[in-house]
Chain A
Amino acid sequence: MGFKSLMSRLVQIDRRWIFLAMALVVAAALLMDLKMPVTVSQDVRRAYQLIDSLPAGTPVLFSWDYDPGSMPELHPLAEAMLRHAMSKNLKVVMMGHWVTGIPLIERQIAGVIRRDFPDKKYGTDYVNLGYKSGQYVVVVSMAQNIYDAFPQDYYRNRTDTLPLMRRVRSLKDLAAVVSFSAGDPGLLMWIQYAWQRFRVPVTGGCTAVSAPEFSAYLQSNQLQGLMGGMRGAAEYEILIGRPGQAATGMSAQSLGHFLIIAFIVIGNIAYFATRKRKEGK
């Protein structure tokens, strides 16, 4: 097979070969457990500093605004931040705007709080409010009276009977809102309502594909730091001194990126080789 014929075949390559190459590279990186050096970006540091600067006992809101679909990317991110908040002895009020994402809160309560912070008490140190339909209407209602928005928590306890919630009567009683967001309702909605209307600082994380959307909000300080996808989570894990799932995943992501670049280069070589041939004819 000549060079030109090879190039011609490469231009028309069956995309399943690309899929196979990607699968092999990602699997190999994960199986070999390659370690990548992680440098912390300014945006992640800002998110970390917001949580780190809060005095012990300060109530913060964590909102799980994603579902199992985005779990691989957002779960490590939520875990790192929840771990940080717990180690700083912050009081965490949890909720979510995606109905199918609520059991994921339970997963993290079991995986982070009950396992690594067994002294933390439900109702005093953390509360799971669960889900309430209504998106931004819920946020506005929380700013007026949180007991009206959530009369009961996820376990059907009356909200106003929980010691932590007696201190948190409104969204404005919270020092920060942290949203882990896969779309709408999510981080953008929290910026538009919690920060823009009620001046509660907002930070959080999102999927890597939607991270560029938030650069304008970061520049205008409407968003206090951001963790974009797996890389953001890996950086946060480094900051709290506990590399975990995300730091491990960075090897797969790095090699995946390089594979895509390799494909782009091959694609362009093949494109120019075949274009010249066509022009020559």
Chain B
Amino acid sequence: MKKTLPLIITFLAGFYMILAFFVPHHAVAASAQEMQSWEIIIVAFTLVLGIGNLIQVHAAKIRQRQAGWPYSLVLLACLVGMMIIGLGWGINEGTAYYWLYDNVMAPLSAAMFSLLAFFIASAAYRAFRARNKEATLLLVAAVIIMVGRIPLGNHLWQHLPWVGSRFPGALESLTQWIMDIPNAAGQRGIKIGAALGAVSMALRMMLGIERSYLTTGGGS
């Protein structure tokens, strides 16, 4: 029963959502909408699980004085501090919470994102090597896109001797062609394959063939 009941629930819920996709009538749509609202509520409650886990893991780390325990202390202090400030004085403009958001959280998150520029440079340096025909093709396409996607690239192209004056829009057109034709074609191919894979996975779960995610182990 412990194994069968989740499978029955999965099948019924999955089948009902598929039914609701094809049957727009209120009799089906309203209950499907209701089910989706339950999902929102359940997901909102799981945040408590997450906070509980954070406190549990880091409190244990502090108690046992494990390596790096002061960082756990900082984490818990920030967690509780932000909660108290937000609940006590509100989160709108002009509050302490807003100030912390604006001056601590926003710059920290933006700094993490900006690391991408550095990592793209180092990954490009390492990976874009003309090792074989395919890699050379990739490299050439990447360089065309990188130059063609920035205003300076097009500006410089137009000032190139001979080609620049004869074909002033060639670089931009070539860049757009690479994006619209080979890039879009490849993307569509991957998307169709991935979509079919996702449908197959969903059907496997609904039919109980794939049950590893239900923690009862393996396929059947």
Direct A–B touching, Cβ under 8 Å: yes
A260 touches B146 (CB 8 A): yes
Given contacts A133-B43, A264-B143, contact A215 B150 (CB under 8 A): no
Interface string of A240-260 (1 = CB under 8 A from B): 000000000011011111111
Residues of A in contact, count (CB < 8 Å)? 59
Q: How far is the CA of A268 from the CA of B135 in the complex (A)?
A: 11
Q: List 29 A-B contacts (CB under 8 A).
A: A22-B117, A37-B151, A37-B155, A38-B151, A68-B109, A69-B113, A71-B106, A100-B101, A103-B98, A103-B102, A133-B43, A141-B33, A212-B179, A212-B183, A213-B187, A215-B179, A216-B188, A219-B184, A250-B151, A250-B152, A254-B150, A256-B121, A258-B152, A259-B121, A261-B146, A266-B125, A267-B125, A268-B130, A271-B131
B118 touches A19 (CB 8 A): yes
Of residues 91 to 112 in A, which have CB atoms within 8 Å of B's CB atoms?
A: 100, 103, 106-107, 110
Min CB distance A130 to B, Å, is 10
The B interface is mostly helix, strand or loop, or mixed, namely helix
On chain A, the residues within 8 Å of B110 by CB distance are: 68-69, 71-72
Please tell me which one of the listed residues A231, A253, A263, A272 contacts residue B125 in the complex, with CB atoms under 8 A apart.
A263
Residues of B in contact, count (CB < 8 Å)? 56
A26 touches B117 (CB 8 A): yes
Q: Does any Cβ of A come within 8 Å of B203's Cβ?
A: no
Min CB distance B33 to A, Å, is 7
Which A residues contact B (CB, under 8 angstroms)? 13, 15, 18-19, 21-23, 26, 36-39, 41-42, 67-73, 100, 103, 106-107, 110, 133-134, 137, 140-141, 144, 155, 209, 212-213, 215-216, 219, 231, 234, 250-251, 253-261, 263-264, 266-268, 271-272
